[in-house]
Structure 1
Amino acid sequence: MKRHGVVVYLKSSFIFTVFISAMLILGGSPSWAAPKGSPWNEDYFPNVKLTDQDGKSFRFYDDLIKDKVVAINFIYTHCGDTCPAETASLRQVQRLLGDRVGKDIFFYSISIDPEHDTPKVLKEYADKFRINSGWLFLTGSKEDTTLIRKKLGLYRDGVEANKLSEHSTSFMIGNERTGQWMKRSPFDEPKTLAWLMGYSLSNIKPSRKPNQVNYSEAKQLPNMTKGEDLYRFRCASCHSLGKEDGLGPGLQGVAKVREKAWLRRWIKEPDKLLAEKDPIAIDLYNRYNKILMPNLRLNDADVEALIDYIEANGNPAQ
């Protein structure tokens, strides 16, 4: 088995991730120390130069991750795949963490398409998503950003050479000071990510521990339908089931307003509808700040389950 630095640590941390999930339900307070002689320090991470959306320069290790709790993902701004969904999900995490972001917790989105994603373009992208302060959108040379991705275990050799859309959609949260790093999915529950960053990985611990709860007192989790699961983890970061708007339109009554065939296609392949200049798709794109509706790679059964859930829960009370 090959052993390359942080990748091995990330694989072994899977057990800790499962443990975190259990403790999260029970209100526990897990903690662990970095391995003695942890290699994930200035000798491991590159100190390459990056530039943020305001044109300010930083060194990756010295300025961005040293002694910090961080979330790091990799995007490109014209992505019609999972990048918009990932940004929307992390935006929810940022809101849950409040003013701690930019003080003791830091968010970094690094472009994998530096030729297109200039600081100006990254600024426009951040503004579309109404990103609050404390979250940097960064660009650098292709060579340097690829090196960072490889060091974080987020580059798939032999897959990404010619197609941006094949990039890894996982992202990292970690604490450089303690050597704790976790690979996460963009569709993780935002409250779980906020808890991990704000408590488990944090350099600042709360003044008192949360109340302990026994297994016998833990409430049974409700069974979710496939449609509810898809909505909660794929759609809720941008859409509510009510009238109010988020990053995208509220879904109340949408199954009655839109033709079912159109709605199926919009959910399954919004990128194609936009490319075809579909008038409804173009209107939604322009009305909602030109944020691309991501293609979530849902199959026909997923789409039907999602529409059924929205139909049952997103309609006004009769």
Structure 2
Amino acid sequence: MSVMKREQFCLVALAATLIGLLSAAPGPALAQEQKAPEQKDSRMASSQWGGNYFPNVELTSSKGEKVRFFDDLVEGKVVMINFIYTRCPDACPLETARLSEVYQILGDRVGKDVFMYSITIDPGYDTPEVLTDFMQTYQIEDGWEFFTGKEEEILLLRKKLGLYIDEVNKDPLDHNLSMIVGNQKTGRWMKKSPFENPYILATEIGTWLHNYKNPMRRTNMYQDAPELRKLSQGESLFRTRCAACHEIGRTPGSVIKPGPNLMDVTDRREHDWLVRWIKEPDVMLEEKDPIATELFEAYNKLPMPNLRINDHEVDMLLDFIETESRRMKKVMEVEAIAAQQEVEEMDCCQKFEEMVLESETANSQTVEEESLVSTEQDSELVANGSEESVVQVSDTVANEVAQVSQAEQPTSKTPRPLSLISWACGLGLSILAFRARMVPRN
């Protein structure tokens, strides 16, 4: 085969290859149709916990407003969600009181970058009006909202949020005491207990859920942490059952509790009454006990829940309250003394080098008045041209000035302003008298 034929054969083969490739490639429209639909990366938590997971059910707020659970309450927000019902005799009041501490700690952030939601599991009874009264009992305002809705849709929410257990929640009004906190945008969700330390809960909701991806600056080392003391059973009972509503004494900066202060309550109330009140407060309120009724009315009609503790636990609890009251008295006394030392000294107690007493002021005013009278007399005499009178008055003024100067020397080495004025007046009058002598008579 000649060189010319081989080149022609190669060109034909190359042309056939190009034609085959072009015919096999789909057109732009066909390529667009055959392109697989874009899917979100399932490894991203925000895609797993988005609108495709949360039921977008309708709820009604305590203000009567209609909202959608995902679109209006959860999407793109940091939230805390729990389930309660207002007729609950024990757990729900404690849970709400504990979370009210978190609400106070977070302050103005609630409703802006942190949102708190409580949803009733008893929508047949808990109308928006009932929820409003419940919020007022715990002094809950803007930012923390309560909702009602349809019972079957609320049950669906509880199951989706992992706060419903079939084996446990056989009674419709029995509910899981856990709550859930999360950041829908980042997909980070945590199941928490509302009875944890309120400052820890506030930190988790207000800080960790916002910037958990950013490295935290650690200034303290774990090995430097102080050793935790062992709590007595009485203190443990107080922290878990009583601290949500009560405090013993008052420390600056602590959150306000909805119940009465228990400082010295063992001295103010009879022991038997306290024991029964702790064991069965609901029964005493039904019996219209006068002290129990008075407390109920005085503290915003907030009923004390039945703590379900036995006689031995009541005794340990009262022992702790009595011991803690004595300790807090000493703490508050020390704080009061420290606060007094930090207060600035009042103006009335300051020492001024130029302070003038009332008696000194009266004496100075008398001397000044006498000097003014003398000055007026001297002026009249000078105007009349009486040389002898002027000289006599001048000598009199000079003597008065000398007497005043001598009187002030023992009390102060530095002449007072009024003394200087009197001395200057006398000197001026003496000069006037001397000039009057020098004037020739007609």
The SS at the match of 1:247 is coil
The SS at the match of 1:70 is strand
Residue of structure 1 equivalent to 2:263 = 252
**TM-fit CA distance, 1:275:** 2.7
Counterpart selection for 1:222 from 220, 229, 235: 229
Q: Is the 8 A contact 2:249 2:329 kept in 1?
A: no
Counterpart selection for 1:239 from 238, 242, 246: 246
Q: Which runs of 5+ in 1 are unaligned?
A: 1-34
Alignment of 1:93-132 (within 5 A): 93-132=102-141
Residue of structure 2 equivalent to 1:212 = 219
C-alpha distance 181-272 of structure 1, shift in aligned 2 (>3 A): farther
C-alpha distance 182-279 of structure 1, shift in aligned 2 (>3 A): same
**TM-fit CA distance, 1:296:** 2.8
**TM-fit CA distance, 1:299:** 3.4
Q: Is the 8 A contact 1:189 1:233 kept in 2?
A: no
Q: Distance in 2 between matches of 1:281 and 1:298?
A: 19
Residue of structure 2 equivalent to 1:71 = 80
C-alpha distance 204-180 of structure 1, shift in aligned 2 (>3 A): closer
Deviations 1:3-53 (A, max 9, x none): xxxxxxxxxxxxxxxxxxxxxxxxxxxxxxxx8243322111110011111
Q: Is the 8 A contact 1:241 1:313 kept in 2?
A: yes
Alignment of 1:147-162 (within 5 A): 147-162=156-171
C-alpha distance 219-120 of structure 1, shift in aligned 2 (>3 A): same
Alignment of 1:292 with 2:279, yes or no, is no
TM norm structure 2: 0.60
Q: Distance in 2 between matches of 1:295 and 1:178?
A: 40
CA RMSD for the aligned pairs? Answer: 2.4
Residue of structure 1 equivalent to 2:426 = none
TM norm structure 1: 0.81
C-alpha distance 37-252 of structure 1, shift in aligned 2 (>3 A): same
**TM-fit CA distance, 1:300:** 3.2
Counterpart selection for 2:274 from 250, 257, 263: 263
Higher helix proportion? 2
Residue of structure 1 equivalent to 2:288 = 277
Q: Is the 8 A contact 1:251 1:310 kept in 2?
A: yes
**TM-fit CA distance, 1:201:** 1.1
Stretches of 4+ aligned residues off by more than 6 angstroms: none
Whichever residue aligns with residue 228 of structure 1, its letter is E
**TM-fit CA distance, 1:317:** 4.5
Q: Is the 8 A contact 1:82 1:295 kept in 2?
A: no
Alignment of 1:192 with 2:200, yes or no, is yes
Q: Which of 1 and 2 has higher RCO (CA within 8 Å, sep 6+)?
A: 1
Q: Is the 8 A contact 1:69 1:203 kept in 2?
A: no
How many residue pairs were aligned? 283
Q: Is the 8 A contact 1:72 1:108 kept in 2?
A: yes
**TM-fit CA distance, 1:243:** 7.3
Q: Distance in 1 between matches of 2:308 and 2:172?
A: 17
Alignment of 1:82 with 2:81, yes or no, is no
Whichever residue aligns with residue 182 of structure 1, its letter is M
Q: Which moved more, 1:138-147 or 1:213-222?
A: 213-222
Structure number, greater radius of gyration: 2
Residue of structure 1 equivalent to 2:179 = 171
**TM-fit CA distance, 1:205:** 8.3
Deviations 1:149-196 (A, max 9, x none): 1111112325444452x2211111111222222222221000110111
